[in-house]
Amino acid sequence: MKFGVITFPGSCDDLDAQLACARVGEVVPLWHADHDLQGVDAVIVPGGFSYGDYLRVGAIARFAPIMREVIDFANEGGPVMGICNGFQVLCEARLLPGALLTNTSLRFVCRQVSLDLTNPDTAFTRDARARLSIPVKHTTGRYYAPEPDLDRLEASGQVVLRYAPGENFNGSLHDIAGVRNERGNVFGMMPHPEHAVDELIGGSSDGLKVFESMRMAVEGALA
Amino acid sequence: MHARVLIRPKAGILDPQGAVAERALAALGFEGVSEVRVGRLVELEVADPAALAEMCERLLANPLIEDYEIEDG
């Protein structure tokens, strides 16, 4: 199982994503200017501040050369996960529904949050616990989609993660912390599973289960 | 040609920047200020103004969350 982890100028969680992936499979670093995914089985779009978050978060990264490959890969059914800034990039690329807006507090928030797994039956969460403890660190994480779209997402099981009651610190509609696309092969979440892979320094290892779920999905599909 | 593109949060979307500016204006003693919304202004020189709408749709604005208005000249 080979995970490709993209690095954009301004990415800062790419190394932690590589370390997390290395616990469950092989890692292939991918550069934003690459035109080739080098045969990876899954792609991680990591957190950070790609291209300085100029214009809008994710708006420039979405047009990076590597993203053309990621969009083709996703359209062919390849698994793609965006974390934090990566989630924002996938929304801008229209691979995921909705958009991320500035937290209602306008503040950067960095802390551990509790999450409820709304849909355990996905390629990204099948090995995860029903209640996860994972850190967040962002200023622009308020999930938004127009009301009719939200109803559709809820009805089709595309809402995968929610902030637990009382934990929605950024004002996300429907408490949404993570969504998947209709087909189920593209997933984005604002909290950072790659920072929660070790009990000692991550507060929990609940994040590791996300990467393990991806490995199970890929190896199940390859078998 | 010189053009200006005004980009603003769509109606109905909570704009915390606008809300903060509104409270700050009230704190400065300006009365009767409401509905403050904060957007962006992009100024650019373009050879083909007909392409401006596509520039907005694809990059300058995110039509899901923002409205844009093109002013040429």
CATH number of the domain that residue A179 is part of: 3.40.50.880
Q: Give the gyration radius of chain A's Cα atoms.
A: 16
Strand order across the beta sheet in which B66-72 lies: B40-45, B2-9, B66-72
Which residue in B5, B8, B14, B67 has the most chain A C-beta atoms within 10 A of its own C-beta, making it the best mutation to test that interface? Answer: B14
A94, A63 in Cβ contact below 8 A? Answer: no
Report the pLDDT averaged over residues A144-149. 97
Q: Confirm or reject contact between A148 and chain B (CB < 8 A).
A: no
- Residue A84 appears among annotated catalytic residues: yes
Half-sphere exposure of A196 (CA within 13 A, CB side): 23
A192 a catalytic residue: yes
Please report how the helices A208-222 and A14-22 are oriented relative to each other, as an axis angle in degrees rounded to 10. Answer: 60
Interchain CB distance below 8 Å, B59 and A63: yes
Averaged pLDDT score across all residues of chain A: 96
Domain count, chain A: 1
Residues of A within 8 A of B16 (CB-CB) are 102-106, 171
For chain B, give every domain's residue range.
2-72
Residues B28-57: tens digit of each pLDDT: 999 999 999 999 999 999 999 999 999 999
Which ipTM was obtained for this model? 0.89
Record: contact A106-B17, CB cut-off 8 A: yes
The 10s digit of each residue's pLDDT in A192-216 is 999 999 998 878 999 999 999 999 9
In the residue annotation, A194 being an active-site residue is answered as yes
Indicate the SS3 state at residue A178. Answer: strand
Within 13 Å, how many C-alpha atoms sit on residue A14's CB side? Answer: 19
> Quick check: A5 and A71 in contact, CB under 8 A?
no
Enter the CATH code of domain B2-72: 3.30.1280.10
Provide mean pLDDT across the span A121-135.
95
**Does A109 touch chain B if contact means CB atoms closer than 8 Å?**
no
**Contacting residues of B for A170, CB less than 8 Å apart:** none
Sequence length of chain A is 223
Show the domain range for A127: 2-222
A47-94, pLDDT tens digit by residue?
A: 999 999 999 999 999 999 999 999 999 999 999 999 999 999 999 999
Please tell me which residue of chain B has the smallest CA distance to A171: B14
Say yes or no: B24 contacts chain A, CB-CB below 8 A. Answer: no
Q: Indicate the pLDDT class of residue B73, thresholds 50, 70 and 90.
A: low
